[in-house]
A and B are shown apart, each in its own frame.
Chain A
Amino acid sequence: GENVEQHPSTLSVQEGDSAVIKCTYSDSASNYFPWYKQELGKGPQLIIDIRSNVGEKKDQRIAVTLNKTAKHFSLHITETQPEDSAVYFCAALSSGGSYIPTFGRGTSLIVHP
């Protein structure tokens, strides 16, 4: 089955800095890669996703890149703000029969004012 590794587990930055979270996956059939943000006391919420036919996608201050050859994808947050502090999860889904996402273990991002 699919295996998703996520690093780092904790990331501390100063407000205004950039933050990068990296994930690797094992199943070459995976073709959809969502990122979820979980604020304290709430359920995860989708913030951005990318499909395997695209190398990069941007939405204001967040972007995701995908390297299919190396089987890794990354979340980039620029100009971080205190409200970006949360736990971020990456996930991978395969179109080869299973539509169940495999999640990484999460990254706790702390943005210091």
Chain B
Amino acid sequence: NAGVTQTPKFQVLKTGQSMTLQCAQDMNHNSMYWYRQDPGMGLRLIYYSASEGTTDKGEVPNGYNVSRLNKREFSLRLESAAPSQTSVYFCASSKQGATGNEQFFGPGTRLTVL
């Protein structure tokens, strides 16, 4: 049982390049989330998916797109990377969208945009 996995672990991009961050969970969770973590800013929600087939914007969605490929996989795409998107990105999942359910986080992707 791997939990939540993310690829890649590290990535360096040049401004304007595109890339997709991959996330998968093997816990049969309904809900999945993408966060970014910046020093002193805590965890900020980019997008989330309450269930397969649905996605919604979070606090900081600009410059990102997501795809809930199936129940297991939730990808985050940067179409044209900017230096402001340099951050650590975490994917998380939870059993369902109801209050009180623990979120399980992946190990993170450290992205640098030059």
Q: Is B98 an interface position by the 8 A CB rule?
A: yes
Q: Is B90 an interface position by the 8 A CB rule?
A: yes
List the B residue with the shortest CB-CB distance to A106.
B42
Q: Which residues in window 74-104 of B have CB below 8 A to A?
A: 90, 92, 97-103
Within 8 Å by CB of B108, from A31, A43, A93, A106, lies A43
Q: Is B111 an interface position by the 8 A CB rule?
A: no
- Which among A6, A42, A44, A46 has the highest number of chain B CB atoms within 10 Å? A44
Q: Which residues in window 20-77 of A have CB below 8 A to B?
A: 31-32, 34, 36, 41-46, 49, 51
Within 8 Å by CB of B102, from A49, A94, A104, lies A49
Range of interface residues on chain A?
20 to 34
* Cα distance A20–B50 in the bound complex, in angstroms: 34
Pairwise interchain contact B99-A95, C-beta atoms closer than 8 A? yes
Q: Is B12 an interface position by the 8 A CB rule?
A: no
Please indicate the chain B residues that have their CB under 8 angstroms from the CB of A94 in the complex: 99
Shortest C-beta distance, B105 to chain A (Å), equals 3
Please indicate the chain A residues that have their CB under 8 angstroms from the CB of B48 in the complex: 100
Pairwise interchain contact A44-B99, C-beta atoms closer than 8 A? no
Q: Is B27 an interface position by the 8 A CB rule?
A: no
Q: Which residues in window 38-54 of B have CB below 8 A to A?
A: 40-43, 45, 48, 50
Q: Is B107 an interface position by the 8 A CB rule?
A: yes
Please indicate the chain B residues that have their CB under 8 angstroms from the CB of A100 in the complex: 33, 45, 48, 58
On A, residues with C-beta under 8 Å from B are 6, 9, 31-32, 34, 36, 41-46, 49, 51, 89, 93-95, 99-101, 103-106
On B, residues with C-beta under 8 Å from A are 4, 31, 33, 40-43, 45, 48, 50, 58, 90, 92, 97-103, 105-108
Kindly list the 6 A-B residue pairs having the minimum CB-CB distance in the complex, ordered from nearest: A43-B105, A105-B42, A99-B97, A95-B99, A32-B100, A103-B43
